[in-house]
Amino acid sequence: MASFLRHASLILTIINYSTLVSAALPAYSGTYGVGTIALEVPVADPRNITDTVFKATKQPAFKLDTTLINVYYPIDKNTKSTKPQHPWLSVSADLIAKGLSDSLNGSISPALIEIGFGIFASDLAIPAEVDVNFLPGNESFPVMIFSHGNPTMTDWYSQYYGEMASRGVVIAGVAHRDGSSPATVVKFKNGTSYNVTAFTQDVVSPTMNDTEFHRRQLEMRQAEFIEVTRTLQSIANGDGQAVFSANSRSEGQALAQWKGRIDMNRTIIAGHSFGSNAVLRYLQDSKPLVPAVAALPFDPGKDSGPLPTDVSLPILIPDSEEWSAKPTPFYGSQHFDVVKSIAASSLNKTGAGWFMTLRTTTVHTSLTDVGLIASSFVQFFTNDTSLITLDPKVALLQYVAVSGDFLTYVSNKTITGLLATNVTYPTFKLFPNASVLKTPWEVHVAPTVPGTAASKSGAGRIRLELGELSVWVIMLMYVMFCL
């Protein structure tokens, strides 16, 4: 009865304040328009990545048949699509709700989660033009392969993807099939399909602890990275028509025109939370098949296994204040110190390692779309009002700006913008009044740049990890009612 009353109260509260939810995602603010296509193509060698099977069915848990990426790319601002925009919920809400419920071992019913999605995102669309021509011209653009958190979906980073594409970056957001996405549908060209929903180590065999389970998930992600890179390389080489023909999502009709337009020699591998763990895992490969030249991990995971600290590529690690501020024991050290050592390793080996925290104030989900969809709602119900004081759009644009500075470095080795700021605070410093800061960033690791002490990127203008469930937990206010 108590559980029923709590859930009923939650439903009524969500409905009462549903007017605080944003009706649409904002338009992108960069120089270019933004196009998007969904690409799902079969892998050359369908296989089981590990020996892990589901206890109930004995079917393989980490099975690689296809890879699915959502590609965002620059277009002419006057280009308009005749196709409908992609929905923010690319999979049916009931399937996503089931996956999220399974992530919590059923402690919240799928029906309740589905009600939340019905209010927050049932008609929400991603404001990119679907399956249109690439930006006219001959210029080639850098590539970013992005790995989402756990459990989140690649679509839930659409605003970051679109903002970067509007500034001249081709983004490939990977939809992982490693049990970290609430739901994804594997589709084949012949019309058949099967669902993959989120799962934990409790439902698989052999028996394993969290660390081993996450290690196997990362193996799956590495295999997906390799296949995604092959797809992108094929497009860059002029085989876009073949990729389009193999695409079970029936998009990419103009991929044949992409030859020479995406520069795989300027590939950055990026990720958020558990996705950052996948990025750092990739960096340990002595002979990587993914030709990344730099790494951009946001908020490396705290509950997703150890973090490799030996890095030999340029790296930028932007933390949210929530991630840096809270002391977190981490395999015999503090998480902040481990992340700092990663950036320091890169700095020592490449001369290009950065670690910084976005202040005034940001949370773990600030890189995602959630704050843009329900910012007023989230602020209204946040127990500690200091957690969300920076407008979600402004916060996301801060991440976009520093990402752009990093891409400039990757392209021509020029240190500009926020990256030209020397270290301001070697350790995170909590200011009672963040307004005294000249910039919302604290820089913890950075190359010494003579004669530059302030950001030129415009930056001065202005944990719920628990398996990293915060994107949807905020939406459903589960924290308020259950903690």
- 41, 140 in Cβ contact below 8 A? no
Question: What pLDDT is recorded for position 240?
Answer: 98
Joined tokens for residue 148: 């989402």
Q: Which of 125, 96, 25 is nearest to 368 (CA)?
A: 25
Domains annotated on the chain, with CATH: 2-482 (3.40.50.1820)
- 475, 370 in Cβ contact below 8 A? yes
> DSSP 3-state helix, strand, coil percentages of the chain (rounded to 5)?
40, 20, 40
Enter the DSSP assignment of 19: G
Question: What pLDDT is recorded for position 93?
Answer: 93
pLDDT tens digits, 390-444: 688 999 999 999 999 999 999 999 999 999 999 999 999 876 565 656 788 999 9
pLDDT tens digits, 76-100: 999 999 999 999 999 999 999 999 8
**If DSSP codes are grouped into helix, strand and coil, which group holds residue 155?**
helix
Whole-angstrom Cα distance, residue 389 to residue 178? 34
pTM: predicted TM-score of the whole model, two decimal places? 0.89
- Catalytic position from the list 101, 147, 181, 273: 273
Report percent pLDDT > 70 for the chain.
82
> What string of DSSP letters covers 165-178?
HTTT-EEEEE---S
Whole-angstrom Cα distance, residue 27 to residue 163? 9
Q: Establish whether 166 is a catalytic residue.
A: no
Ranges under pLDDT 50 in the chain: 1-20, 376-388, 453-483
- 362, 441 in Cβ contact below 8 A? no
104 CB neighbour count, 10 Å cutoff = 19
**If DSSP codes are grouped into helix, strand and coil, which group holds residue 146?**
strand
Q: Establish whether 180 is a catalytic residue.
A: no
- Catalytic position from the list 86, 214, 272, 364: 364
Q: Establish whether 364 is a catalytic residue.
A: yes
Question: What pLDDT is recorded for position 150?
Answer: 93
Q: Which of 88, 74, 91, 92 is nearest to 158 (CA)?
A: 88
Whole-angstrom Cα distance, residue 379 to residue 397? 19
- Catalytic position from the list 102, 239, 299, 405: 299
Question: What pLDDT is recorded for position 436?
Answer: 59
Question: What pLDDT is recorded for position 76?
Answer: 98
> For residue 295, which amino acid is it?
A
Whole-angstrom Cα distance, residue 399 to residue 270? 12
Question: What pLDDT is recorded for position 463?
Answer: 30
